[in-house]
A = this chain, B = another copy of it.
């Protein structure tokens, strides 16, 4: 027998983390090694804390497999899982600590589409004309209140039935409730669109089953999505939320922040049914 069996670092319950992490090669990228070793440590701590049963492990493997297999070009079930576990908002928080005195960020969500039409200020992005109409306007400024010229606002929201255009490619016009607007020297923006409505995240898959087991509803409060970018400024991914929405208290993905709840006022004599003014404050890159 050529192998000295006494010299082997056998796996044990107590030493499990060290045994796994000692295998990582010394020349592994330092950040990769750091993230992997922390992941192994916390994963094992989880299994030990709950005394994970064999059948529960099997259920977990099955759940993750089904989550992966639910994904296609129009559906990202792992982002939904991250969202409902609060991991998306936690990652957002960790990566945006410097937004002090500026507009806060929130989750991107799975429905952004790059390449929306570039439109002149004042355009109407609601192509199906459904629901209440609303004027969205305000200014994009720096932390001193100075207007930012050349700020791009990439905006999108659901329609009055609670679906994004990409969820209903055969029903909604392409680019319904989407557009890109660029500020001039005054930093002002304005566009018209549907007043967003609350909607459930897709819940006909594994994440929906999980929410049901936890007794949680799948709804998000009504919101308009924004990605703001400007030369020299940190790109800002955020929403404005409709201030009378019943789900503000219980957003399924935890995206609500007090500073992002926008005022929506009825405008009986206006060109639109509603008006929602909101100023965005960006920080240097």
Contact = CB atoms under 8 A, between A and B. Distances in A.
B215 A27 contact: yes
Contacts of A219: none
Contacts of A88: 57
A8 interface: yes
A75 to B, nearest CB: 10
A114 interface: no
A162 to B, nearest CB: 19
A60 B181 CA distance: 32
A2 B68 contact: no
A49 B42 contact: yes
A35 B54 contact: no
Given A1-B243, A65-B71, 17 more contacts: A5-B258, A9-B249, A10-B258, A11-B90, A11-B255, A13-B94, A24-B214, A25-B214, A38-B50, A43-B85, A44-B86, A53-B94, A54-B95, A61-B79, A64-B67, A65-B68, A68-B71
Interface of A: 1-3, 5-13, 16-17, 19-20, 23-29, 32-36, 38-54, 56-57, 61, 64-69, 71, 76, 78-79, 82, 85-95, 97, 213-216, 243-246, 248-250, 254-258, 261, 263
> Lowest 10 A-B CB distances belong to which pairs?
A68-B68, A25-B215, A20-B86, A42-B46, A13-B93, A11-B254, A42-B42, A57-B91, A54-B95, A11-B89
6 contacts: A23-B214, A42-B43, A48-B94, A52-B90, A52-B94, A53-B95
